[in-house]
């Protein structure tokens, strides 16, 4: 259901408010570039600093602008199960195609707690759910065995795997048939080599057509082309994490004239030395 190039959509701000006009422009860009799916209100979308009202408004705005042309995978995760249910219910109400749910952060549930959390949301809201494992952000990891258990629930259809471990993806693949999506741009091709079906991508905010071309090449058995595209994309992918995501990607979009680069505290502007490194990566990719 979810595969290919899924962009982890940035949330544009202007003078401290969500810039819905710019958001529409960014969505239109992805429609033109052939992006397979847009995922608003995730980590890259600065969801922790969006109010509930803003969170819902961004999802609704993206769904409306997409108008069924491509899929929308709305970020609806929370460390409160009841809050996650509410956000997921809203995403379904406004017409999102699925919900991307980060595992509960800070409270560090056990594996049984993780299972019960996702199970509760899946039973309450009949919408395709994509698990999101990012232990570097949440403080805990969804074990492959827990993923396998969750995959038996009919509307849990995929996992965005951002542990940074190929062993994790391989173990999930060995235990279940759940769709695996890379959550790390630089690992997209390696994860696809062990059974992944695409990526929820940060760098696709800048070069979605190139990300899609790499994923499509591998799926079509053009492994040499996919590897060549991976080698070219790799330095740019790494540059997106010189500082905490989405600081670099928003800064890059500012350099490219696509965004003002505004962030919300506690995220702050890049250090000048890192800005120069980012500019070099963009120049090397011939974007600047």
89 vs 121: CA distance, rounded Å: 9
256 is a domain residue = no
Digit-coded pLDDT (tens) for 76-134: 999 999 999 999 999 999 999 999 999 999 999 999 999 999 999 999 999 999 999 99
34 is a domain residue = yes
199 is a domain residue = yes
At 166 the pLDDT is: 95
- Contacts of residue 84, defined as CB under 8 A and 6 or more positions apart, other chains included, come to 76, 77, 78, 101, 117, 121
DSSP 214-251: HHHHHHTT-HHHHHHHHHHHHHHHHHTTSSSTTHHHHH
284 is a domain residue = no
User: Which domain does 158 fall in, by range?
Assistant: 4-220
As a whole number, mean pLDDT of residues 253-280 equals 97
How many residues in the chain?
288
116 is a domain residue = yes
DSSP 20-89: HHHHHHHHHHHHHHT-SEEE-SSTTTTGGGS-HHHHHHHHHHHHHHHTTSSEEEEE---SSHHHHHHHHH
At 1 the pLDDT is: 85
173 vs 6: CA distance, rounded Å: 20
158 pLDDT more than 90: yes
What CATH number is attached to the domain comprising 51?
A: 3.20.20.70
When pLDDT is cut at 50, 70 and 90, the band that residue 247 belongs to is: very high
249 vs 85: CA distance, rounded Å: 30
Digit-coded pLDDT (tens) for 170-225: 999 999 999 999 999 999 999 999 999 999 999 999 999 999 999 999 999 999 99
280 is a domain residue = no
- What share of the chain in percent tops pLDDT 90? 100
288 is a domain residue = no
Helix 111-124 with 81-94: angle, nearest 10 deg: 30
Distances (CA, A) of 118 to 26, 55, 63: 31, 20, 24
> Rounded to two decimals, what is the model's pTM?
0.96
Let me know: does 122 contact 155? Beta carbons within 8 Å: yes
Three-class secondary structure of residue 199 per DSSP: strand
Structure-block tokens of residue 70 = 């491509």
18 pLDDT more than 90: yes
How many Cβ atoms are within 10 Å of 267's Cβ, its own excluded? 17
- The catalytic site residues sit at 132, 160
The count of structural domains within the chain is: 1
185 is a domain residue = yes
């Amino acid at each position: 259901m979810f595969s290919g190039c899924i962009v982890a959509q940035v949330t544009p701000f202007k003078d401290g408010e969500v810039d819905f006009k710019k958001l529409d422009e960014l969505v239109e860009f992805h429609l033109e570039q052939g992006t397979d799916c847009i995922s608003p209100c995730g980590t890259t979308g600065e969801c922790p600093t969006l109010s509930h009202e803003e969170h819902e408004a961004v999802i609704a705005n993206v769904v409306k602008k997409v108008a069924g042309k491509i899929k929308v995978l709305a970020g609806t995760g929370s460390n409160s199960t009841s809050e996650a249910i509410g956000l997921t219910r809203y995403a379904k109400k406004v017409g999102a195609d699925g919900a991307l749910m980060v595992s509960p952060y800070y409270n560090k549930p056990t594996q049984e707690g993780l299972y019960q959390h996702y199970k509760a949301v899946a039973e309450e809201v009949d919408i395709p759910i994509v698990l999101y494992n990012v232990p570097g952000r949440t403080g805990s990891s969804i074990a492959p065995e827990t993923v396998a258990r969750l995959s038996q629930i009919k509307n849990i259809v995929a996992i965005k795997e951002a542990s940074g471990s190929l062993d994790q993806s391989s173990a999930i693949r060995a235990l279940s048939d759940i769709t695996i999506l890379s959550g790390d741009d630089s690992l997209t091709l390696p994860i696809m080599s062990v059974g992944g079906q695409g990526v929820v991508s940060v760098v696709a905010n800048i070069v979605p057509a190139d990300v899609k071309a790499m994923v499509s090449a591998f799926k079509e058995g053009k492994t040499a082309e996919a590897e060549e595209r991976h080698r070219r994309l790799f330095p740019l992918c790494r540059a997106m994490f010189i500082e905490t995501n989405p600081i670099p990607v928003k800064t890059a979009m500012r350099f490219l004239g696509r965004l003002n680069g505004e962030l919300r505290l506690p995220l702050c502007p890049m250090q000048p030395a890192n800005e120069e490194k980012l500019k070099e990566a963009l120049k090397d990719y011939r974007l600047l």
